[in-house]
Amino acid sequence: MSLSSALSIAQSALLATSKQTSIVSRNVADASNPDYTRRIAVVTSTSPGARAVDIQRAANDLLFRQNLSALSAWSGQSTLYSGMDQLGVSVNGVDNASSPSSAITDLQKALQLYATTPSNQNLATSVIDAAKQVVNSLNSGTQAIQDFRTQTDGQISAAVSDLNSLLTQFQDANKAVISGTRSGTDVSDALDQRDALLKKISEYVPVSTFTRGDNDMVVTTKDGSTLFETVPRSVTFAPSAGYSAGAPGNSVYIDNVPVSAGAGDGTAADGKLAGLLKLRDGVASTMQSQLDETARGLITAFAETSPSQPNATGLFTWSGAPAIPAAGTLINGLAGSIKVNAAMDPSAGGNPSLLRDGGANGAAYVANTTGGASYSDLLIAYGNKLDQPMTFDTSAGIAVNASVSDYAANSIGWFEGVRQQASTNSDAKEALASRTAEALSNDTGVNVDQEMSLLLDLEHTYQASAHMMKTVSDMLDSLLAAVG
């Protein structure tokens, strides 16, 4: 081997070692960055012993796709669970203290006490006050649910805006990848940026990807709607200024295809958008229907009867009074409009004794025809009706036949069951997201100990190459001295 060839080999070795050292140092510097993928400096040798460094990226497409799916599932389920927590406190209060079920229980107790001493006007007033608490619970619950739906609608609008922004950023990163791939430059940073954006996008909607020539990526949703192909596809949503009971919410469209909220009340919500849609149009709407059915049951249970006239509203009334709501049929918004009959409310100039005697709708409805102060038959009958089964609308999601008191309690049971399921699923999907992220990091992330060990090896290689150059230099000096 000639001295010039030896010098060239030593120089190429030094250059290759320098590049390798730079890559390893970059790995160590970004070891704590969860979106950084480890770079590998691959050395190739060419005749006559020269070395070149090719930078490769330690990617694992299978693990990355699994992590994207897990992130989407966790985001959707955690959104669903946190929304349910907020909704439960807003409607039922802490530990269900202000729920309609609790208020109905208090009404039953007041009614039973009044029935034992029907001549006591103070006990009659207590029953009216308890009825007002029931009405307040239903009215405020309706308002809380519709406020929650409006708030959730705003969160959907913000999420759509964020998703469009992420898709625009993804376009820039994808262009950088394509351009670098075509020019033959290192695109590792652009690929890292693109993958990081994919993780963020998957938090909003579940995604699927495939890569075309020049590393060009196409992104679709799990159900096949195109999110990105060369350019971002439009994600649109028209927010509502407010909601009323029974009013449907607007859909989110991706490339003119509506986003699905998934099936079930608390078991399937892939992506934040699906979770928010399920909260707004699923859980909250079902809770509202159950409140409306509870209100209808109360109006029916306390209806005044007459042998010659149709049943008419008694202690509880509504906008359709004096008629009684149709049996087994949901009336949207009834819980928000139910109120205590003014004829029995002393604060409105009414007489609470009408609850004992009947006659809020006229003489034909009077049950205590003798005017006895100890008459309690009607009070006992009302108490019994609260525990008698009646037919409820199946669309409200719980038992078709139940008493009013049981139905109100079952409503809490339904919600707590759904929330518990959402909590369990959220924990499971969080664990899966954590495990897949850990597996991906172990396979493609940076191990600092390994990189530091590699740095030591490179230092020895550098020393050997430098020693070789010095030896060649000394030999050249000796040769020049001999020639001179």
- pLDDT, residue 298, reads 97
Quick one: pLDDT at residue 399? 77
Q: Cβ neighbours of residue 440 under 8 Å, at least 6 residues apart?
A: 60, 63, 64, 66, 67
Q: Which pLDDT score is estimated for 227?
A: 96
What are the residues facing 41 on neighbouring strands?
A: 55
Q: Is 333 helix (H, G, I), strand (E, B) or coil?
A: coil
Conformation bin of residue 246: beta by default, left when phi > 0, alpha when psi is -120 to 50: left
pLDDT tens digits for 371-403? 999 999 999 999 999 999 999 999 998 877 899
Q: Across the strands, what pairs with 366?
A: 358
Of 306, 388, 347, the C-alpha closest to 131 is 347
pLDDT of residue 10: 64
The CA distance from 345 to 360, in Å, is 11
* Residues of the chain scoring pLDDT < 70: 1-14, 45-53, 262-268, 455, 458-469, 472, 474, 476, 479, 484
**Which pLDDT score is estimated for 76?**
92
Q: What is the pLDDT of residues 139-181, one digit of tens each?
A: 999 999 999 999 999 999 999 999 999 999 999 999 999 999 9
The pLDDT value given to residue 186: 87
CA 46/CA 50 separation, integer angstroms = 5
**pLDDT attached to residue 19:** 77
pLDDT (0 to 100) of residue 375: 95
Structure tokens at 30: 């970004």
pLDDT (0 to 100) of residue 131 = 97
Domain limits, the chain: 3-57+447-483, 65-433
Quote the CA–CA distance of 314 and 299 in Å, as a whole number: 7
Q: What is the pLDDT of residue 338?
A: 97
Distance CA 266, CA 23 (A): 47
